[in-house]
Structures are given as C-alpha cells and as structure tokens.
Structure 1
Amino acid sequence: MLSLWQRRSLIVGHWHHWLNAVNQHSLHAPFIYQFYQQVIRTTQAQSSFEQIEQYRNNLLKSKEEVLAESIGAASTVSASNVRLVKSIARHTLSTPKFGCFLYNLMQFQKPQYVVELGTSLGVTTLYLALADNRTTVYTLEGSTKIANVAGQAFADFNCQNIELREGNIDHTLPQLLEEIPQVDLAYVDANHRLEPTLRYFSQLLDRTSENSILVFDDIHWSFEMRKAWKTIIQHPRVTLSIDLFDAGLVFFRPLTTRQHYFLMF
C-alpha cells in the first residue's frame, strides 16, 4: 500500500504530466520526432515477447518464497523480508508496454554497453537482452535470492549476453564501471531515494558519451524521486530530457538549446 506522501507525489506528477504531455503532432525537431515514432509509438509483435510474458505469468502464479534483502527504498506492500515471488512480480515488475519500449529503445540506439541497476526477477533484463544478442547487458541486483530467480530465467532463455552481478549496487556498480570503457544505455530501477539516485547518475555520467541514454524508472514515485529527476535534468551535460511519467530519459547530444519534453506514453 502506498504511503500518503507517495500517493500525493503520484497525483501531482500525473496532473503535471497530463497538462504538459504532447504526441507526435506537436513535435517538430527531427530527432525527437523520429524517436517518438520509432521508440514510443511503435509496437512490436515479437514471438520472444510471448515467451517473456509467459515467464511473467508464471511468476505471478509462483508460491515460492524468497528472502528479499532490503537495500533500497522500503517496500510499500510488505514489511517482511520474506516475500512470495508472485507478490514481488505483481508490485515491482514493469508493464509489457514498458518492456516493449525498452526493446524498441535498444533497436533504435544499438548500444554496445548496457547497464541495468535493479534486475529484480529479470523481466526487463530479458527485453533488453533479446533486442540484440550481440550486446552484453550487465545487470546488477542487490538481493541474492531474487538474483537467483532471475539467473535461472536467463539460463532457461539461453541468454548468453546477460551478465548478472549480485551484491550491493553501491559496491558492484563502481566495480563494473572500472571494467567497461563506456555506458551507452543505462536503465536505473534500483534504490528509489534521492541520494542514491543522484549518486548512480554521477557515476554513470563519467562513462557516458554524447550518444548515451540514461533511463530512470519511477521518477514520480515519491517527492524524493521527483527532486532527483529535476536535479538530473538540470545538469549542464544534459541537453535533452523526456518525461514519460513512468520513466525519464536524459540525453547528451550536442544541441544549441536545452530541450525538455513531456511525451504521451
């Protein structure tokens, strides 16, 4: 159950987004129009999606219990660390629509190095990995037991391009960034608090180029996350941002003026 402040944050964010969001008919800049058409508006009918969604359905029915170590923001649906897999799936997994969006984003950008913070049960990881099996997806999960569930799914899907790293992301992320030369695409869905989110942004920023894209999930989940998002898009290196309400994207493309969009999703 969401707290009063979280409900207020979501209401404020939804109202602000509704007032400002536009679709392709109001977009004139060539890049953002192309991005909207190919990534947001486009839907895919891939056989791999059916397999991922079958995995999601299996998770939603699973009676398996796992010890979900509390590292990030506390759960709003359970005070216990011992949780049913189906409960985790019901309350934390991104929607099929958002999975399709990540798949489209991968095919649009064609990244070489992809980093995901917050593997959870691995559904979004599969959408990222199956979009291009030539790209390695480095995915970081803080909970050992949850990582084990995801790892079994990756094996079942025979995904050779996923590298799962278990452990506190405060430790595993800096280690990973020392090993890879750059971050082309990052999906941040980990510790939903102000300080960790800004720290992840700062760490990832050191490995970005002008072609990199960083995606932050749940930017309206709380007033802390809304503050983190506002701070991120004001960074001097961020030249373009997109608020989809469900998530926010930042770009570092060389532009003459900074651009911020609220897009219908």
Structure 2
Amino acid sequence: MNRLQFYFKAQTAHGLHSPSIYTLYCEVLNPYLKGQLTYPQLIEGLRHHYSDCAIIEMEQTMDPAQISQNTVIVVKNPHAIEENWYAMYSHEAVIQTVDLFDLGLLFFKPICPKQHFYLRKMA
C-alpha cells in the first residue's frame, strides 16, 4: 500500500469506535504523529498505557503463535516489510492492529474483538 492509498483509508479520532484505541490515539499516537513525542517517548507512553502488557519492538521476523497473550508488538515501517506485516496481522492470535503507515502495533489481547485500525495525524 502506498502513502496515498493509506491516507484515504486512514481515519482520525473522529471515526474511532473503540474506546481503548481512541484513548491511546489521543494520549500517545497523535502526539507522536505530530512530532510532539520521540520514538523512545512513544514506547514509554505505550508501556504506561498498557502496564499489564509486554511491549516488544520487532527487530526480526516473529512467529505470532509464539507470542504470549497481553503483548503489544511495535513494528517500524510495516509497509517496508509488507508481506510479513500482513502475515502477522492476519494471524488468529493478533486481536487488534493499529497502522500508522510508518509504525504498526499488533495487540495480543484475548478480551478484545478482532479489529484493524488505520490512523493518521489529526490537526
């Protein structure tokens, strides 16, 4: 998917129907997209927001079946490794995904319904 296709598919907080993703977007993701948070601050914000989860930065190909529940995987440039990204988010163990184009989040949280969110910066 190229950036233009992503832009037309993505939404801001106004279209979110998940309270947990809405809160994450408003408190952590949108400030990161606006350049108000650095990448390390984003990771710290995720750790704070999901204190009951392990936050793992994906550095290599991972097998979703080997990831434990209550884990959030952070993927830099998911569309650069698009085939792997689609394989990961399509796996049954992945419950929710957030695609920011330059960054992706994979949630392994068993209590949530399976959903994929494409989010962009809100002015």
- Residue number in structure 2 paired with 1:97: 38
Distance 1:263 1:240, change over 3 A: same
CA shift, 1:111, in A, is: 5.5
Larger radius of gyration: 1
Counterpart contact for 2:46–2:55, Cα < 8 Å = no
Aligned counterparts of 2:98 and 2:112: Cα–Cα separation in 1: 17
Work out which structure has the larger RCO, using CA pairs closer than 8 Å and 6 or more positions apart in sequence.
2
1:240 aligns with 2:96: yes
Report the residue type matching 1:97 in the other structure: T
Alignment size in residue pairs: 117
Distance 1:207 1:260, change over 3 A: closer
- Residue number in structure 1 paired with 2:23: 34
- Residue number in structure 2 paired with 1:228: 84
Aligned counterparts of 1:33 and 1:253: Cα–Cα separation in 2: 16
CA shift, 1:101, in A, is: 1.7
CA shift, 1:234, in A, is: 0.6
Which of 87, 97, 118 pairs up with 1:262? 118
Counterpart contact for 1:185–1:212, Cα < 8 Å = yes
CA shift, 1:249, in A, is: 0.8
Give the structure with the higher percent helix. Answer: 1
CA shift, 1:99, in A, is: 3.0
Counterpart contact for 1:111–1:185, Cα < 8 Å = no
Aligned counterparts of 2:24 and 2:112: Cα–Cα separation in 1: 18
Aligned counterparts of 1:207 and 1:227: Cα–Cα separation in 2: 19
Aligned alpha-carbon RMSD (Å): 2.3
CA shift, 1:229, in A, is: 0.6
CA shift, 1:41, in A, is: 2.6
Counterpart contact for 1:187–1:215, Cα < 8 Å = yes
Counterpart contact for 1:240–1:250, Cα < 8 Å = yes
Which of 10, 26, 50 pairs up with 1:109? 50
- Residue number in structure 1 paired with 2:2: 13
Aligned counterparts of 2:115 and 2:107: Cα–Cα separation in 1: 10
CA shift, 1:207, in A, is: 4.2
Q: TM-score, normalised by structure 1?
A: 0.40
Report the residue type matching 1:36 in the other structure: Y
Aligned counterparts of 1:187 and 1:218: Cα–Cα separation in 2: 12
Alignment of 1:44-193 (within 5 A): 97-110=38-51, 184-188=54-58, 190-191=59-60
Counterpart contact for 2:56–2:74, Cα < 8 Å = yes
1:216 aligns with 2:113: no
Q: TM-score, normalised by structure 2?
A: 0.80
Paired residue secondary structure (1:220): helix
CA shift, 1:237, in A, is: 1.0
Q: Which runs of 5+ in 2 are unaligned?
A: none
Distance 1:207 1:239, change over 3 A: closer
Which of 48, 54, 66 pairs up with 1:206? 66
CA shift, 1:205, in A, is: 4.5
Aligned counterparts of 2:52 and 2:109: Cα–Cα separation in 1: 15
